[in-house]
């Protein structure tokens, strides 16, 4: 019988709160309860931590009747019923005085056997479970309706950089000759993380085609390309890998990107989706990605990806380039942008990068837009060099963040590079705590997982 596992995801702030509570420096055992959203896709299960509730020693975390300590019945009941009502996963947490390897004790597992069947009954179909933490490790025992139990594959802490915790240290063997030079910077384990990653690129035009090539050459193992557009002659000046034959045959941009990616890395697995990311069926496939690049500039695409970031705790980057001129044809500004989006920060709503009026316009047909004097979409100026600057910045940041190569943490930020009046601006992302997308108030999207619908168009 296959041993099934699950993944747990934290926003960086929530994990830091939990870790500080469990390890205050006294060398003792402490406890907490987590409320987590649930994401399921085939055999993949992700638990998305929405709230951390530290247990107060002596009242919420008390002397155990069998083991050393235990959560009090009152504390458990308050949270299991809240999780039931909110369709959240209940997770009990305690720590061991270990470091890189951790597991449940026999006493721990026996307590799960005694208590968790009853908790499953209260939870009304939602999973329940336990986590045990070491200082740099984690294990899980998650119970599901019907008797299935899953342990932990990994815990992913999503912040400005990505931290991973596993039950035991990962041992890496073997070499990857084609990636030897880059592994000299981030090591074999870094290459393993890239090879196991599932990364989406939305929009395979000028910027997206470069992102696709860079990711394939880095050795990212699983790529998802989403675009429903075809090649034409005007694309040849900026879409890498494209040929005149592609333009003449109106080849799909995702197929051109897939071919080029496989030429760069025959081992990469590429899934192509010829459709709109704003459709239910397409957006649903992104819920279990490890990173998303948004290189399509529609407001609807921004809306959906922004929701995925905060609802499913997936890091993302929105990338674009823009040229502005006046009525006389004079160049006013030419700029490229990389905007880092992280759960709980970097929200495109909070920072004014989703326009409600434009969303309404995009929802209309071409005929409706003409009738209401909106016009139809005109092609925007695009130059390969500006696209390259934005794509390279985005991939560099992905590499350093995804493999935790930076020592210091940094806030989510937007990088705007201007070329007419040369300047690079690092803009710290704003965050509205009451935001329905990235905030924590009741009913917000943050870490809600499958309990909340994505803002898609159906289909």
Please give the pLDDT value at position 376.
46
SS (H, E, C) the chain: CCCCEEEEEEEHHHHHHHHHHHCCCCCCCCEEEEEEEEEEECCEEEEEEEEEEECCECCCEEECCCCCEEECHHHHHHHHHHHHHHCCEEEEEEECCCCCCCCCCHHHHHHHHHHHHHHHHHHCCCCEEEEEEECCEEEEEEECCCCCEEEEEEEEEECCCEEEECCCCCCCCCCCHHHHHHHHHHHHHHHHHHHCCEEEEECCCHHHHHHHHHHHHHCCCEEEEECCCECCHHHCCCCCCCCHHHHHCCCEHHHHHHHHHHHHCCCCEEEEECCCCCCHHHHHCCCCCCEEEECCCCHHHHHHHHHHHHHHCCCEEEEEEEEEECCCCCEEEEEEEEEEEECCECCCCCCCCCCHHHHHHHCCCHHHHHHCCCCCCCCCCCCHHHHHHHHHHHHHHHHHHHCCCCCCCCCCEEEEEECCCCEEEEEECCCCCCCCCCCCCCCCCCCCECCCCCCCCCC
Q: Across residues 269-293, what is the average pLDDT?
A: 97
pLDDT of residue 374: 44
Question: pLDDT, tens digit, for every residue of 199-256?
Answer: 999 999 999 999 999 999 999 999 999 999 999 999 999 999 999 999 999 999 999 9
**pLDDT above 70 for 127:** yes
| Domains by residue range for the chain, with CATH | 5-165 (3.40.140.10), 177-428 (3.40.50.720)
Quote the pLDDT of residue 252.
98
**pLDDT tens, position by position, 139-167:** 999 999 999 999 999 999 999 899 999 99
The predicted structure's pLDDT at residue 375? 46
Residue 406 pLDDT > 50, yes or no?
Answer: yes
Q: What is the pLDDT of residues 416-439, one digit of tens each?
A: 999 999 999 999 999 998 999 999
pLDDT at 50 over 50: yes
Mean pLDDT of 109-138: 97
Q: How much is the pLDDT for 26?
A: 96
Residue 79 has pLDDT above 90, yes or no: yes
The mean pLDDT of 85-95, rounded to a whole number, is 97
Question: Does position 364 have pLDDT exceeding 70, yes or no?
Answer: no
Q: Mean pLDDT score of the chain, rounded to an integer?
A: 93
pLDDT of residue 354: 94
**In the chain, what percentage of residues exceed pLDDT 90?**
85
The answer, yes or no, to whether residue 407 has pLDDT greater than 90, is no
């Amino acid at each position: 019988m296959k041993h099934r596992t699950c993944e747990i995801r934290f926003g960086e702030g929530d994990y830091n709160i939990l870790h500080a509570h469990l390890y205050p420096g006294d060398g003792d055992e402490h406890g907490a309860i987590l409320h987590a959203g649930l994401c399921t896709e085939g055999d993949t299960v992700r638990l998305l931590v929405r709230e951390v509730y530290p247990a107060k020693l002596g009242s919420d975390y008390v002397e155990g009747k069998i083991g050393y300590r235990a959560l009090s019945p009152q504390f458990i009941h308050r949270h299991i019923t809240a999780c039931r009502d909110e369709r959240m996963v209940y997770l009990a947490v305690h720590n061991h005085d270990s470091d890189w390897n951790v597991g449940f004790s026999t006493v721990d597992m026996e307590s799960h056997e005694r208590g968790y069947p009853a908790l499953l009954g209260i939870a009304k179909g939602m999973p329940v479970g336990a986590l045990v933490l070491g200082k740099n490790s984690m294990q899980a025992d998650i119970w599901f309706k019907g008797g299935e139990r899953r342990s932990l594959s990994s815990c992913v802490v999503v912040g400005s950089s990505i931290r991973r915790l596993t039950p035991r240290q990962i041992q890496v063997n073997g070499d990857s000759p084609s990636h030897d030079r880059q592994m000299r910077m981030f090591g074999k384990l870094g290459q393993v993380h890239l090879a196991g990653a599932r990364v989406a690129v939305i929009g395979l035009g000028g910027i997206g085609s470069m992102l696709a090539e860079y990711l394939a050459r880095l050795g990212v193992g699983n790529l998802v390309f989403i675009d429903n557009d075809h090649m034409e002659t005007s694309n040849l000046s900026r879409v890498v890998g494209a040929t005149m034959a592609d333009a003449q045959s109106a080849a799909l941009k995702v197929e051109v990107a897939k071919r080029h990616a496989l030429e760069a890395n025959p081992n990469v697995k590429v899934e192509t989706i010829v459709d709109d990311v704003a459709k239910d069926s397409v957006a649903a496939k992104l819920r279990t990605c490890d990173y998303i690049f948004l290189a399509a500039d529609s407001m609807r695409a921004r809306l959906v990806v922004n929701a995925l970031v905060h609802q499913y705790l997936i890091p993302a980057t929105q990338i674009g380039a823009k040229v502005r001129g006046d009525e006389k044809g004079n160049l006013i500004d030419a700029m490229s942008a990389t905007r880092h989006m992280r759960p709980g920060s970097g929200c495109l709503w909070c920072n004014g990068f989703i326009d409600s009026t434009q969303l309404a316009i995009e929802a209309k047909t071409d005929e409706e837009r003409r009738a209401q004097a909106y016009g139809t979409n005109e092609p925007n100026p695009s130059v390969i060099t500006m696209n390259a600057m934005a794509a390279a910045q985005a991939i560099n940041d992905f590499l350093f963040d995804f493999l935790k190569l930076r020592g210091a943490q940094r806030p989510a930020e937007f990088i705007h590079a201007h070329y007419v009046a040369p300047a690079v601006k690092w803009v710290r992302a704003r965050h509205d705590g009451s935001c329905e997308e990235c905030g924590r108030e009741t009913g917000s999207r943050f870490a809600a997982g499958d309990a909340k619908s994505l803002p898609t168009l159906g289909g």
